[in-house]
Structure 1
């Protein structure tokens, strides 16, 4: 079976690298493997399964409240990693359920980005919030790909079904949920909130792609995004941009079903935080930055659709908090925006 083959390949690689705490599903971890040097007990997720058989096949304990897990996903047809920050009292309240904050990375990023580039660890230290940071693929765009009639990779099913069941079963995730993301992840956060009304209490987007059909900012097949790929010499192996949602004319219903701007009615009842730069140099851009740099021009394109989304959302009576500023499409701004949005997210989670 594919799952077994994937698992064997991963276990062999992990054993050779010595990088992860690995155990056979259904068995206990080796003595001390689920503990840090201080003796604090963390979660043991190896063997936890979703309803479709998707299973956690390995975990790596980083510290007393942080761990990485590897999941063999049926929806993806491959393994994917997730970084988790546990609530402060996770080990002392075995019967408690926890509010959950999902953080989504951007294009060409990965599940480590938020802990590497932002202060999420410090922001959540001492708080009873479960933070889940999943892999979303280099250009996965948080959707089950149209794929010319297929459905793989199924990123939405992986996140919204398989991963959700795993964190509920293995980490006692509760029903108070918020989601946030940057760029491609901003699209994912708002699209997921709209496609699953009521599932998230709040959604935050930082420089997110909030109108995939905007004439100047279509993110996957033309416009600034395609130019960015060419200029940066990004050529993902086998990448077919039309496989995401299909052709924007022939499969327009598929595009609309995922496009945040087309999901405004479904976002009623979800608190929104939307921030974006204006594509001009700002205080966090290094001195001497070229005003025509790709990250500056790309943020200018994002700003056009973000302004339209904010105007339409406000006109529709949605509860939306906004933050617009001068700055480029880069991590210093997204890390700052997470800090600005964090009190809002905690409040909606009931964990402020």
Structure 2
């Protein structure tokens, strides 16, 4: 483990040497100045019988008798999840079209942007009031075909390891509606200081405003929400899930964080953040301002992990060790997965141990899942869907979530003294190592959601 962590520090140093961190520094601002308009979203259900809705996917649809056949492999990455939603049949026999509704929601804070949503529901008609679970994608998200729907659609149903089964099959067996925002790649789902205009990040990024103020009331009234809600995410959005819950105490009955780094305002965690955002065309300074600034600290989920902010939510946190396990061998690209995914997950493991130390020191409880093996890849996250359910079920059994309260943020609060000093030393060592072996190609792998292929078939069919 120490070897992997040192390797992770070397990669961090290489990125710094390569100039990945160069960006203008934003001035200090108050959170209220950054958050956008909280106009309730307008919700619309997408229907393939409408030519306007079908135009982004109909190029890959053919009909055979009474069946619609969708060529998943022929779809653009950003449209693959729609192909599954409209034309996939799970191994358990469920037609996705009966249980996955494609919707859009407007965001006034983001200039009227229409955000696509995948909504998983047990019966498809929203006649019964249920809790709402918001499930966030990782860095590349649906825009890169790396979303929850696409990555879990072909999982085997394994009674002995229920967490590996098709996600839609699993959630439709529960009394919950699951909402997956299918946009927001590389955004960290927070409200940005500046408006980026490059790559995947173009236009206002006001995701916290959208997810906590604009979307919930409008959507939950449409799909039969009962006032109880949860939030979960993996990799990039593991940080986001903790953070949004901390910023809105009591708003979520339960929170799930899978393979993430809660800290964002210290040198090494800040580097992980920058590497992720940079892949999308933005910078951490555009997102939160200068490292260690008040707004950066406001968006540090480790600093904000205290009983007032997170104590009202049932919490599940998982991470793998970074050491290759049985599920990491024999998949396409496994050698890259074992190296790059191992380094990334080892770094996330260090971050997660910091979070546990902080929460333990304040008497805060959580369901911790430290796995002895596993890399930064989909097998562990698929398993988290099942492993975290008891936490969410316990949270949903509580009274309805409260209205958001003001978070307690101590700008000068040190999270955990020992890891702070250790990480500062690691960054210095990494800079020295980078001078001797700057390998930018390897650095590009940092921040990825793992390299395991989703295993999409060339075509799937479902009855209309």
- TM-score tier, shorter chain, comes to 0.7 to 0.9
Q: Does 1:302 align with 2:371?
A: no
Task: Tell me the number of residue pairs that the alignment of Structure 1 and Structure 2 aligns.
Answer: 290
1:314 to 342, 352, 360: 360
Alpha carbons of 1:290 and 1:240: their partners in 2 closer, same or farther (altered >3 Å)?
Answer: closer
Q: Which residue of 2 is the match for residue 345 of structure 1?
A: 392
Q: Give the distance between the partners of 1:279 and 1:306, measured in 2 at CA.
A: 12
Q: Does 1:70 align with 2:104?
A: yes
Q: Does 1:255 align with 2:296?
A: yes
Contact 2:337/2:375 (8 A) holds in 1? no
Alpha carbons of 1:15 and 1:323: their partners in 2 closer, same or farther (altered >3 Å)?
Answer: closer
Q: Give the distance between the partners of 1:168 and 1:345, measured in 2 at CA.
A: 17
Q: Does 1:331 align with 2:378?
A: yes
Q: For 2:186, what is the secondary structure of its paired residue?
A: coil
Q: Give the distance between the partners of 2:376 and 2:56, measured in 1 at CA.
A: 35
**RMSD over aligned Cα atoms:** 3.0
Q: Which residue of 2 is the match for residue 8 of structure 1?
A: none
Per-residue deviation at 1:136? 4.5
Q: Which residue of 1 is the match for residue 283 of structure 2?
A: 240
Per-residue deviation at 1:226? 4.8
1:158 to 185, 210, 214: 210
Q: Give the distance between the partners of 1:18 and 1:247, measured in 2 at CA.
A: 41
Alpha carbons of 1:348 and 1:19: their partners in 2 closer, same or farther (altered >3 Å)?
Answer: farther
Per-residue deviation at 1:152? 2.2
Q: For 1:217, what is the secondary structure of its paired residue?
A: helix
Contact 2:320/2:346 (8 A) holds in 1? yes
1:87 to 119, 122, 128: 122
Per-residue deviation at 1:227? 5.5
Alpha carbons of 1:228 and 1:18: their partners in 2 closer, same or farther (altered >3 Å)?
Answer: closer
Contact 1:284/1:332 (8 A) holds in 2? yes
Q: Does 1:197 align with 2:249?
A: yes
The structure whose RCO (Cα within 8 Å, separation 6+) is larger is 2
Q: Give the distance between the partners of 2:337 and 2:104, measured in 1 at CA.
A: 41
Q: Which residue of 1 is the match for residue 322 of structure 2?
A: 279
Contact 2:274/2:283 (8 A) holds in 1? no
Q: For 1:75, what is the secondary structure of its paired residue?
A: helix
Q: For 1:159, what is the secondary structure of its paired residue?
A: helix
Q: For 1:261, what is the secondary structure of its paired residue?
A: coil
Per-residue deviation at 1:129? 0.7
Q: For 1:64, what is the secondary structure of its paired residue?
A: helix
Per-residue deviation at 1:146? 1.1
Higher Rg of the two aligned structures: 2
Alpha carbons of 1:102 and 1:148: their partners in 2 closer, same or farther (altered >3 Å)?
Answer: closer
Alpha carbons of 1:63 and 1:228: their partners in 2 closer, same or farther (altered >3 Å)?
Answer: closer
Q: For 2:245, what is the secondary structure of its paired residue?
A: helix
Cα deviation 1:124-165 (Å, max 9, x = unaligned):
12332111111351111111111179x921111111122212
Contact 2:260/2:352 (8 A) holds in 1? yes
Name the one with the larger helix percent.
Answer: 2
Alpha carbons of 1:209 and 1:13: their partners in 2 closer, same or farther (altered >3 Å)?
Answer: farther
Unaligned runs of 5+ in 2: 1-40, 42-49, 60-65, 68-84, 87-95, 153-165, 197-202, 399-464
Q: Give the distance between the partners of 1:262 and 1:338, measured in 2 at CA.
A: 26
Q: Does 1:102 align with 2:134?
A: yes
Q: Give the distance between the partners of 1:73 and 1:246, measured in 2 at CA.
A: 23
Q: Which residue of 1 is the match for residue 453 of structure 2?
A: none
Name the TM-score, length of structure 2 as normaliser: 0.57
